[in-house]
Copies of this chain bind each other. A is one copy, B any other.
Amino acid sequence: MPQEPAHITDVDTRYLESLIGYNARRAALVSMELFLPNMAEFDLRPVEFSVLSLVNHNPGITSRQLCTALSILPPNLVGLVNRVEKRGLLQRQPHPHDGRAQGLHLTAAGSKFMREAERAATALEQQVASALSASEAQTLMRLLRKVYRRAD
């Protein structure tokens, strides 16, 4: 056991690395760091990508549903939707059954855009998972979902 050296060379991170939250946060930050340059041509932040992807796969989804699915607070979604709407990627449409709500839909340009963006994100995934085998990557995601899906 070292005698509490006053001059540290290698930092002992073993305790922090025994905590799931610490490890998940570090991995998430690295993933987002890789996202930015690799997705630069799309000018999308991670959350914007997530929103557009959910609209892509759930046409007619409401803001409220997006907020619940992605843990975004409603006031913070407004500006985000406004931006991608101004870029011509997304449209608000009247909701068929609820006059308060609006269904969100990708425009034709938005659909094409998201096809390419999701292809790029899937390619980027190879970099994020470069140290993992295919089966390790699947295991990792399955275990992460067990952590954040509290009620399943």
Chain A residues at the B interface, C-beta cutoff of 8 Å? 4-8, 11-32, 34-35, 46, 50, 53-54, 56-62, 65, 68-69, 71, 93, 95-97, 103, 118, 121-122, 125, 128-129, 131-132, 136-137, 139-141, 143-150, 152
Contact = CB atoms under 8 A, between A and B. Distances in A.
Contact of A8 (B22, B60, B137): B60
A58 B144 contact: no
Nearest to A25: B28
A60 B20 contact: no
B145 A140 contact: no
B141 A57 contact: no
Please tell me how many copies of the chain the complex holds.
2
Given A7-B95, A18-B125, A131-B150, 17 more contacts: A6-B95, A6-B96, A7-B103, A11-B69, A14-B57, A19-B122, A20-B27, A20-B125, A20-B140, A21-B28, A21-B34, A21-B128, A23-B140, A24-B28, A26-B71, A132-B147, A140-B147
A22 B4 contact: no
Contacts of A68: 11
Contact of A46 (B21, B125, B129): B21
List 9 A-B pairs, minimum CB-CB distance, nearest first. A21-B31, A23-B144, A6-B60, A24-B28, A26-B148, A140-B143, A25-B28, A27-B147, A131-B146
A150 B69 CA distance: 30
